[in-house]
Structure 1
Amino acid sequence: MPKESGLPLSYSAAEVAASLGCSEWWVKEQVRRRRIPFLRSGGGYRFTSDHVQEIFHILEERPNPANAIESEAIPRRRTTAQPVRPVASLRARRPRRARNAA
């Protein structure tokens, strides 16, 4: 059994992607754009458990109760049927070479 070193465990981009249910490319792209926290170790990206928890909080979306109440109070607009217009028949033009030859 390995000895506890007191250092935090680190995870690879592939492991973080698996826990998020997304691709490894997406995780690396978010790192490149500095949207999520990370460690740079030997040219690779590593993530601690604190980083992963923060990423979950960054990506979390919560409903706004005020929006839910407003959306119920606003009646939906009924759409009226548009009158059907007669269809215009189209005629093809004569080709340019046929016009020039005549």
Structure 2
Amino acid sequence: MPALGSAADPSTILFSYADTAKLLGVTQRWLEDQVQRRRVPHHRLGRQVRFSASDIEEIEKDARVRAQPRPAGA
């Protein structure tokens, strides 16, 4: 699953498009589109695109939709 990194330091593990899409529950095509539009954080290694654990966390955080409070008396 991980592309690079060591077991001693999980923060250096980089994930592929396929692995990241699976973790996020989205299609690989959607993720590729978001990268092309520079809407999600990622790493470029030459022509390869990879995602760190912190990139994935940031994508999840940015996608969160907060609940709207109910109007008083509703």
Task: Give the structure-1-normalised TM-score.
Answer: 0.59
Deviations 1:69-89, CA, capped at 9 Å, x for gaps: 26x64xxxxxxxxxxxxxxxx
- Structure 2 residue matching 1:47: 3-state secondary structure: strand
Tell which has more relative contact order, 1 or 2 (C-alpha 8 A, sep 6+).
Answer: 2
Runs of 4+ in 1 over 6 A off after TM superposition: none
What is the alpha-carbon distance in structure 2 between the residues aligned to residue 6 and residue 16 of structure 1? 15
Write 1 or 2 for the structure with the bigger share of strand. 2
Structure 2 unpaired stretches of 5+:
1-5
Q: How far apart are 1:27 and its partner, in Å?
A: 0.4
- Pairing 1:69–2:59 present: no
Q: How has the CA–CA distance of structure 1 residues 59 and 7 changed in structure 2, closer, same or farther, with 3 Å as cutoff?
A: closer
Rg comparison, structure with higher value: 1
What RMSD over aligned residues (CA atoms) do the two structures have, in Å? Answer: 2.2
Structure 1 unpaired stretches of 5+:
74-102
Q: Which amino acid aligns with 1:41?
A: L
What is the alpha-carbon distance in structure 1 between the residues aligned to residue 34 and residue 47 of structure 2? 16
Q: How far apart are 1:62 and its partner, in Å?
A: 1.2
